[in-house]
Chain A
Amino acid sequence: MKIALINGSPKVGNSSSRWLLSELKTFLVQKEQTTEIIEIEMHTPVVAEQDMEALCGAQVWVFACPLYVDGIPSHLLSCLIQLEQEKRRWQNRGSRSYGIVNCGFYEGIQAETALELFNNWCAKAEACWGGGLGVGGGGGLSQMPDTKNGQGPKAPIRSALLEMADQIVACGEMENMYQSVAFPRSFYKMAAQMGWRKMIKANGKKVKDLGARPESRICGWEK
Protein backbone atom coordinates (compact mmCIF):
# COMPACT_ATOMS: atom_id res chain seq x y z
CA MET A 1 0.00 0.00 0.00
CA LYS A 2 1.20 3.48 -0.81
CA ILE A 3 0.45 6.23 1.69
CA ALA A 4 0.85 9.94 0.91
CA LEU A 5 1.71 12.14 3.86
CA ILE A 6 0.73 15.67 2.84
CA ASN A 7 2.27 18.58 4.71
CA GLY A 8 -0.23 21.42 4.36
CA SER A 9 1.56 23.88 6.59
CA PRO A 10 2.54 27.15 4.93
CA LYS A 11 5.94 26.70 6.58
CA VAL A 12 8.51 25.03 4.39
CA GLY A 13 10.90 24.28 7.27
CA ASN A 14 10.30 23.10 10.79
CA SER A 15 6.64 23.01 11.82
CA SER A 16 4.26 21.11 14.06
CA SER A 17 2.64 19.55 10.98
CA ARG A 18 6.05 18.23 9.90
CA TRP A 19 6.68 16.79 13.37
CA LEU A 20 3.25 15.11 13.47
CA LEU A 21 3.72 13.53 10.04
CA SER A 22 7.23 12.42 10.92
CA GLU A 23 5.98 10.63 14.04
CA LEU A 24 3.11 9.09 12.10
CA LYS A 25 5.52 7.88 9.44
CA THR A 26 7.60 6.09 12.08
CA PHE A 27 4.53 4.29 13.40
CA LEU A 28 3.26 3.38 9.93
CA VAL A 29 6.56 1.81 8.95
CA GLN A 30 6.76 -0.07 12.27
CA LYS A 31 3.28 -1.51 11.77
CA GLU A 32 3.52 -2.45 8.14
CA GLN A 33 6.98 -2.72 6.67
CA THR A 34 5.69 -3.19 3.13
CA THR A 35 4.04 0.23 3.29
CA GLU A 36 5.47 2.73 0.87
CA ILE A 37 5.38 6.28 2.16
CA ILE A 38 5.50 9.29 -0.12
CA GLU A 39 5.86 12.79 1.28
CA ILE A 40 4.09 15.67 -0.43
CA GLU A 41 4.85 19.29 0.41
CA MET A 42 1.76 21.44 -0.06
CA HIS A 43 2.93 24.91 0.97
CA THR A 44 1.48 26.98 -1.89
CA PRO A 45 -2.02 27.37 -3.39
CA VAL A 46 -1.27 25.13 -6.38
CA VAL A 47 -0.68 21.36 -6.45
CA ALA A 48 2.33 20.83 -8.70
CA GLU A 49 1.86 18.35 -11.55
CA GLN A 50 4.51 15.99 -10.21
CA ASP A 51 2.76 15.96 -6.81
CA MET A 52 -0.59 15.35 -8.49
CA GLU A 53 0.85 12.36 -10.30
CA ALA A 54 2.36 11.03 -7.09
CA LEU A 55 -0.98 11.44 -5.28
CA CYS A 56 -2.79 9.59 -8.05
CA GLY A 57 -0.70 6.53 -7.23
CA ALA A 58 -1.37 6.54 -3.47
CA GLN A 59 -4.20 4.61 -1.82
CA VAL A 60 -4.20 6.70 1.37
CA TRP A 61 -3.84 10.45 1.77
CA VAL A 62 -3.07 11.97 5.17
CA PHE A 63 -3.33 15.75 5.31
CA ALA A 64 -1.67 17.66 8.15
CA CYS A 65 -2.03 21.40 8.67
CA PRO A 66 -2.32 24.07 11.34
CA LEU A 67 -5.69 25.49 12.38
CA TYR A 68 -6.10 28.89 10.74
CA VAL A 69 -8.99 31.03 12.05
CA ASP A 70 -11.13 27.96 12.81
CA GLY A 71 -10.49 26.46 9.39
CA ILE A 72 -7.64 25.35 7.20
CA PRO A 73 -5.07 27.73 5.66
CA SER A 74 -6.30 29.41 2.47
CA HIS A 75 -3.51 27.95 0.34
CA LEU A 76 -4.53 24.42 1.34
CA LEU A 77 -8.17 25.20 0.63
CA SER A 78 -7.11 26.19 -2.92
CA CYS A 79 -5.29 22.86 -3.23
CA LEU A 80 -8.37 20.92 -2.09
CA ILE A 81 -10.45 22.71 -4.72
CA GLN A 82 -7.88 21.78 -7.37
CA LEU A 83 -7.87 18.16 -6.19
CA GLU A 84 -11.66 18.08 -6.40
CA GLN A 85 -11.58 19.58 -9.89
CA GLU A 86 -9.14 16.88 -10.99
CA LYS A 87 -10.86 14.05 -9.13
CA ARG A 88 -11.30 11.94 -12.28
CA ARG A 89 -7.53 11.42 -12.22
CA TRP A 90 -7.42 9.84 -8.78
CA GLN A 91 -10.86 8.84 -7.50
CA ASN A 92 -10.73 5.23 -8.70
CA ARG A 93 -7.79 4.35 -6.52
CA GLY A 94 -10.16 2.99 -3.82
CA SER A 95 -8.65 4.89 -0.97
CA ARG A 96 -9.23 6.92 2.14
CA SER A 97 -8.22 10.37 3.34
CA TYR A 98 -7.37 11.32 6.89
CA GLY A 99 -6.64 14.68 8.51
CA ILE A 100 -4.44 15.96 11.32
CA VAL A 101 -5.03 19.54 12.44
CA ASN A 102 -2.93 21.15 15.12
CA CYS A 103 -3.93 24.33 16.89
CA GLY A 104 -2.00 26.83 18.98
CA PHE A 105 -4.81 26.77 21.50
CA TYR A 106 -4.61 24.20 24.25
CA GLU A 107 -7.79 22.31 23.39
CA GLY A 108 -7.59 19.89 20.47
CA ILE A 109 -11.38 20.08 20.10
CA GLN A 110 -10.95 23.54 18.59
CA ALA A 111 -9.75 21.76 15.43
CA GLU A 112 -13.18 20.12 15.00
CA THR A 113 -14.40 22.59 12.38
CA ALA A 114 -11.25 22.17 10.27
CA LEU A 115 -11.66 18.38 10.35
CA GLU A 116 -15.27 18.85 9.24
CA LEU A 117 -13.97 20.77 6.21
CA PHE A 118 -11.86 17.74 5.21
CA ASN A 119 -14.89 15.51 5.70
CA ASN A 120 -17.05 17.82 3.56
CA TRP A 121 -14.32 17.93 0.92
CA CYS A 122 -14.31 14.12 0.76
CA ALA A 123 -18.06 14.13 0.16
CA LYS A 124 -17.71 16.61 -2.72
CA ALA A 125 -14.66 14.89 -4.19
CA GLU A 126 -16.27 11.45 -3.86
CA ALA A 127 -13.45 10.29 -1.61
CA CYS A 128 -13.78 8.26 1.61
CA TRP A 129 -13.16 10.11 4.84
CA GLY A 130 -11.24 8.00 7.32
CA GLY A 131 -11.33 10.37 10.30
CA GLY A 132 -8.98 12.82 11.88
CA LEU A 133 -6.99 13.98 14.85
CA GLY A 134 -7.25 17.43 16.44
CA VAL A 135 -4.13 18.36 18.37
CA GLY A 136 -4.15 21.04 21.07
CA GLY A 137 -1.00 22.80 22.23
CA GLY A 138 0.44 22.34 18.77
CA GLY A 139 2.38 25.58 18.93
CA GLY A 140 5.11 24.01 21.01
CA LEU A 141 5.34 20.51 19.52
CA SER A 142 8.50 20.98 17.52
CA GLN A 143 10.27 22.63 20.48
CA MET A 144 9.20 20.20 23.21
CA PRO A 145 11.59 17.44 24.30
CA ASP A 146 11.06 14.03 22.77
CA THR A 147 8.97 11.46 24.57
CA LYS A 148 10.83 8.60 26.21
CA ASN A 149 9.16 5.41 27.42
CA GLY A 150 5.69 6.81 26.88
CA GLN A 151 6.34 9.82 29.11
CA GLY A 152 6.60 13.56 28.53
CA PRO A 153 4.37 16.36 27.23
CA LYS A 154 4.03 14.83 23.76
CA ALA A 155 3.07 11.35 25.02
CA PRO A 156 -0.72 11.69 24.50
CA ILE A 157 -0.18 13.02 20.99
CA ARG A 158 2.10 10.07 20.14
CA SER A 159 -0.49 7.65 21.56
CA ALA A 160 -3.19 9.17 19.37
CA LEU A 161 -0.91 8.99 16.32
CA LEU A 162 -0.19 5.35 17.09
CA GLU A 163 -3.93 4.63 17.23
CA MET A 164 -4.40 6.52 13.98
CA ALA A 165 -1.61 4.53 12.34
CA ASP A 166 -3.49 1.31 13.22
CA GLN A 167 -6.52 2.58 11.32
CA ILE A 168 -4.51 3.89 8.38
CA VAL A 169 -2.67 0.64 7.66
CA ALA A 170 -6.04 -1.14 7.79
CA CYS A 171 -7.62 1.58 5.60
CA GLY A 172 -10.19 1.79 8.38
CA GLU A 173 -12.60 4.49 9.45
CA MET A 174 -12.27 6.05 12.88
CA GLU A 175 -14.11 8.65 14.93
CA ASN A 176 -12.26 11.95 15.13
CA MET A 177 -9.90 12.06 18.09
CA TYR A 178 -8.94 15.18 20.04
CA GLN A 179 -5.86 15.38 22.19
CA SER A 180 -3.77 17.99 23.98
CA VAL A 181 -0.18 18.03 25.16
CA ALA A 182 0.39 16.64 28.68
CA PHE A 183 1.26 20.03 30.07
CA PRO A 184 -1.01 22.09 32.35
CA ARG A 185 -2.97 24.70 30.42
CA SER A 186 -1.82 27.51 32.71
CA PHE A 187 1.85 26.60 32.09
CA TYR A 188 1.26 26.32 28.35
CA LYS A 189 -0.32 29.81 28.34
CA MET A 190 2.55 31.22 30.38
CA ALA A 191 5.21 29.60 28.18
CA ALA A 192 3.56 30.88 24.99
CA GLN A 193 3.29 34.41 26.36
CA MET A 194 6.92 34.39 27.46
CA GLY A 195 7.75 33.34 23.91
CA TRP A 196 5.94 36.36 22.41
CA ARG A 197 7.83 38.68 24.77
CA LYS A 198 11.16 37.15 23.86
CA MET A 199 10.39 37.43 20.15
CA ILE A 200 9.24 41.05 20.21
CA LYS A 201 12.33 42.06 22.19
CA ALA A 202 14.52 40.22 19.67
CA ASN A 203 12.91 42.43 17.02
CA GLY A 204 14.04 45.58 18.87
CA LYS A 205 10.62 46.45 20.29
CA LYS A 206 9.19 46.69 23.78
CA VAL A 207 6.80 44.24 25.43
CA LYS A 208 4.06 46.90 25.48
CA ASP A 209 4.25 47.00 21.66
CA LEU A 210 2.56 43.58 21.59
CA GLY A 211 -0.67 45.51 22.20
CA ALA A 212 0.00 48.33 19.71
CA ARG A 213 -2.97 49.81 17.84
CA PRO A 214 -1.45 51.19 14.65
CA GLU A 215 -3.19 53.78 12.48
CA SER A 216 -4.26 52.69 9.02
CA ARG A 217 -2.03 54.02 6.24
CA ILE A 218 -4.51 53.00 3.57
CA CYS A 219 -7.91 54.66 3.58
CA GLY A 220 -10.84 53.37 1.59
CA TRP A 221 -13.80 53.88 3.91
CA GLU A 222 -16.69 55.41 2.01
CA LYS A 223 -20.23 56.60 2.69
Chain B
Amino acid sequence: MKLIITDLKEFQIPVTGIHKIIRPQRAIHPCIGCFGCWVKTPGSCVIADGYEQTGIDMGQCTELIYVSRCCYGSLSPFVKNVQDRAISYIHPDFVLRKGEMHHKRRYDNVISLSAYLYGEDITDAEKETARKILAANADNYDGVVKEIRFFKTEQELEGLML
Protein backbone atom coordinates (compact mmCIF):
# COMPACT_ATOMS: atom_id res chain seq x y z
CA MET B 1 0.00 0.00 0.00
CA LYS B 2 1.41 3.33 -1.10
CA LEU B 3 0.78 6.56 0.74
CA ILE B 4 1.54 9.55 -1.45
CA ILE B 5 1.82 13.05 0.03
CA THR B 6 1.99 15.79 -2.56
CA ASP B 7 1.58 19.53 -2.97
CA LEU B 8 0.15 19.04 -6.49
CA LYS B 9 -3.56 19.89 -6.54
CA GLU B 10 -4.00 18.03 -9.83
CA PHE B 11 -2.13 14.74 -9.49
CA GLN B 12 -1.58 13.27 -12.99
CA ILE B 13 1.10 10.67 -12.16
CA PRO B 14 -0.09 7.07 -12.67
CA VAL B 15 0.03 4.89 -9.56
CA THR B 16 -0.15 1.10 -9.45
CA GLY B 17 -1.63 -0.96 -6.61
CA ILE B 18 -3.58 0.13 -3.56
CA HIS B 19 -2.77 3.71 -2.70
CA LYS B 20 -3.93 6.89 -1.04
CA ILE B 21 -3.02 10.41 -2.10
CA ILE B 22 -2.93 13.28 0.40
CA ARG B 23 -2.94 16.59 -1.43
CA PRO B 24 -3.98 20.19 -0.71
CA GLN B 25 -7.74 19.84 -0.99
CA ARG B 26 -8.56 22.08 1.96
CA ALA B 27 -6.74 24.40 4.36
CA ILE B 28 -4.31 22.69 6.70
CA HIS B 29 -3.47 23.92 10.19
CA PRO B 30 0.20 23.80 11.23
CA CYS B 31 1.35 21.55 14.07
CA ILE B 32 1.21 23.49 17.33
CA GLY B 33 3.71 21.32 19.21
CA CYS B 34 1.17 20.23 21.84
CA PHE B 35 2.04 16.49 21.76
CA GLY B 36 -1.70 15.79 21.96
CA CYS B 37 -1.19 13.12 19.28
CA TRP B 38 0.87 11.21 21.86
CA VAL B 39 -0.90 11.98 25.15
CA LYS B 40 -4.51 13.05 24.38
CA THR B 41 -5.62 11.15 21.28
CA PRO B 42 -2.69 8.70 20.91
CA GLY B 43 -2.13 7.88 17.26
CA SER B 44 -3.95 10.82 15.67
CA CYS B 45 -3.56 14.60 15.69
CA VAL B 46 -5.92 16.62 17.89
CA ILE B 47 -6.55 19.21 15.16
CA ALA B 48 -9.63 18.06 13.25
CA ASP B 49 -9.16 19.60 9.81
CA GLY B 50 -9.13 16.47 7.65
CA TYR B 51 -5.37 15.89 7.96
CA GLU B 52 -5.37 14.39 11.45
CA GLN B 53 -5.21 10.71 10.41
CA THR B 54 -1.95 10.68 8.44
CA GLY B 55 -0.12 8.91 11.26
CA ILE B 56 -2.68 6.09 11.06
CA ASP B 57 -2.34 5.93 7.26
CA MET B 58 1.42 5.66 7.67
CA GLY B 59 0.85 2.70 9.97
CA GLN B 60 -0.94 0.91 7.12
CA CYS B 61 1.43 1.64 4.24
CA THR B 62 4.52 -0.11 2.93
CA GLU B 63 5.67 2.83 0.81
CA LEU B 64 5.63 6.52 1.68
CA ILE B 65 6.13 8.71 -1.37
CA TYR B 66 6.65 12.47 -1.29
CA VAL B 67 6.00 14.40 -4.49
CA SER B 68 6.88 17.94 -3.64
CA ARG B 69 8.51 21.19 -4.60
CA CYS B 70 11.99 21.31 -3.08
CA CYS B 71 12.40 24.32 -0.77
CA TYR B 72 16.01 24.84 0.37
CA GLY B 73 16.36 21.01 0.56
CA SER B 74 13.12 20.56 2.47
CA LEU B 75 9.74 19.34 1.34
CA SER B 76 7.39 22.22 0.48
CA PRO B 77 5.34 23.83 3.29
CA PHE B 78 2.16 21.79 2.56
CA VAL B 79 3.92 18.41 2.41
CA LYS B 80 6.09 19.30 5.43
CA ASN B 81 2.96 20.37 7.29
CA VAL B 82 1.32 16.98 6.67
CA GLN B 83 4.57 15.30 7.79
CA ASP B 84 4.79 17.48 10.93
CA ARG B 85 1.19 16.57 11.78
CA ALA B 86 1.94 12.83 11.49
CA ILE B 87 4.47 12.26 14.26
CA SER B 88 1.87 10.01 15.91
CA TYR B 89 3.12 7.32 13.50
CA ILE B 90 5.89 6.85 16.05
CA HIS B 91 5.65 6.25 19.78
CA PRO B 92 6.77 9.03 22.17
CA ASP B 93 9.21 6.77 24.03
CA PHE B 94 12.82 6.75 22.97
CA VAL B 95 15.14 4.01 21.71
CA LEU B 96 18.77 4.08 20.64
CA ARG B 97 19.24 3.40 16.94
CA LYS B 98 22.62 3.67 15.16
CA GLY B 99 24.00 5.16 18.37
CA GLU B 100 21.48 8.02 18.42
CA MET B 101 18.24 8.68 20.23
CA HIS B 102 15.12 8.11 18.13
CA HIS B 103 11.49 7.28 18.80
CA LYS B 104 10.18 3.79 19.42
CA ARG B 105 7.92 2.17 16.85
CA ARG B 106 4.14 2.33 17.30
CA TYR B 107 3.40 0.04 14.33
CA ASP B 108 5.16 -3.03 12.90
CA ASN B 109 5.27 -1.96 9.24
CA VAL B 110 8.60 -1.05 7.69
CA ILE B 111 8.16 1.91 5.38
CA SER B 112 10.29 2.49 2.30
CA LEU B 113 10.59 6.19 1.59
CA SER B 114 10.85 7.89 -1.79
CA ALA B 115 10.98 11.57 -2.67
CA TYR B 116 10.37 13.10 -6.09
CA LEU B 117 11.30 16.74 -5.72
CA TYR B 118 10.82 19.41 -8.32
CA GLY B 119 12.00 22.97 -8.78
CA GLU B 120 13.70 25.00 -11.49
CA ASP B 121 16.76 25.97 -9.54
CA ILE B 122 17.50 23.23 -7.02
CA THR B 123 21.15 23.68 -6.06
CA ASP B 124 23.61 20.87 -5.37
CA ALA B 125 23.66 21.89 -1.71
CA GLU B 126 19.87 21.62 -1.55
CA LYS B 127 19.97 18.18 -3.19
CA GLU B 128 22.52 17.04 -0.62
CA THR B 129 20.38 18.37 2.25
CA ALA B 130 17.29 16.67 0.82
CA ARG B 131 19.15 13.34 0.65
CA LYS B 132 20.31 13.72 4.26
CA ILE B 133 16.81 14.61 5.45
CA LEU B 134 15.21 11.60 3.73
CA ALA B 135 17.85 9.33 5.28
CA ALA B 136 17.23 10.92 8.70
CA ASN B 137 13.46 10.46 8.23
CA ALA B 138 14.06 6.78 7.47
CA ASP B 139 16.11 6.44 10.67
CA ASN B 140 13.38 8.12 12.70
CA TYR B 141 10.63 5.97 11.19
CA ASP B 142 12.87 2.89 11.43
CA GLY B 143 12.30 2.49 7.70
CA VAL B 144 14.46 2.50 4.59
CA VAL B 145 15.17 4.91 1.75
CA LYS B 146 14.03 3.61 -1.64
CA GLU B 147 14.97 6.53 -3.88
CA ILE B 148 15.18 10.28 -4.27
CA ARG B 149 14.99 12.05 -7.63
CA PHE B 150 14.97 15.66 -8.72
CA PHE B 151 13.01 17.25 -11.55
CA LYS B 152 13.12 20.73 -13.04
CA THR B 153 9.39 21.11 -13.60
CA GLU B 154 6.07 19.66 -12.48
CA GLN B 155 5.53 18.48 -16.07
CA GLU B 156 8.65 16.28 -15.94
CA LEU B 157 7.01 14.36 -13.10
CA GLU B 158 4.35 13.11 -15.50
CA GLY B 159 6.85 10.63 -16.94
CA LEU B 160 6.93 8.83 -13.60
CA MET B 161 5.07 5.65 -12.69
CA LEU B 162 4.60 5.24 -8.96
The interface of chain A, by Cβ under 8 A from chain B, is: 9-11, 15, 44-45, 66, 68-75, 77-78, 80-81, 105-107, 110, 112-113, 116-117, 119-121, 123-124, 185, 189, 192-193, 196, 199-200, 202-203, 205, 209-218, 220-223
**Given A200-B42, A214-B44, A218-B53, A74-B93 contact (CB < 8 Å):** no
Contact (A66, B33) CB under 8 Å given A71-B133, A221-B1 = yes
Q: Does B62 contact A (CB under 8 A)?
A: no
CA distance A78 to B126 in the complex (A): 17
* Nearest neighbor of A70 in chain B, beta-carbon distance: B136
A119 to B129, CA, bound (A): 10
Q: State the B residues within 8 Å of A (CB).
A: 1, 17-21, 30-33, 35, 38-44, 50, 53, 56-57, 59-60, 71-78, 80-81, 83-84, 87, 91-94, 100-102, 106-107, 123, 125-126, 128-129, 132-133, 136-137, 140
Task: Determine how close the nearest CB of chain B comes to the CB of A5; give it in whole angstroms.
Answer: 19
Contact at A105–B102, with CB atoms within 8 Å? yes
B contact residues around A70 at 8 Å (CB): 133, 136-137, 140
**Chain A residues with Cβ under 8 A from B20's Cβ?**
220-222
- By secondary structure, the B interface counts as mixed
Chain A residues contacting B72 (CB-CB under 8 Å) are 77, 80, 117, 120-121, 124
Nearest CB to that of A190 among chain B residues? B94
CB pair B39 A214 closer than 8 Å: no
Is B125's CB under 8 angstroms from A221's CB? no
- Assess the B42–A123 pair: CB atoms within 8 A: no
Q: Which residues of B contact A221 (CB under 8 A)?
A: 1, 18-20, 60
B75: chain A residues within 8 A (beta carbon): 71
Chain B contacts for A203, CB-based, 8 A:
39-40
Residues on A with beta carbons closer than 8 Å to the beta carbon of B17? 223
Q: Assess whether B42 is in contact with A9, with CB atoms less than 8 Å apart.
A: no
Complex CA gap A123/B17 in Å reads: 41
Residues of A contacting B140 in the complex (Cβ-Cβ under 8 angstroms): 69-70
Q: Is the CB of A11 within 8 A of B77?
A: no
Say yes or no: B123 contacts A120, CB within 8 Å: yes
Inter-chain contacts of B106 with A (CB < 8 A): 211, 213
Which B residues lie within 8 Å of A213 (CB)? 43, 59, 106-107
**Cβ of A117: which chain B residues have Cβ within 8 Å of it?**
72-74, 129
Inter-chain contacts of B87 with A (CB < 8 A) = 69
Q: In the complex, A151→B47 CA distance in Å?
A: 40
Q: Which residue of the partner chain, among A44, A69, A215, contacts B84 with CB atoms under 8 Å? A: A69
Enumerate 17 A-B pairs (CB-CB under 8 Å) in ascending A order: A72-B74, A73-B84, A74-B80, A75-B81, A77-B72, A81-B71, A105-B94, A105-B100, A110-B101, A113-B136, A117-B72, A120-B73, A209-B42, A213-B43, A216-B60, A220-B21, A221-B60
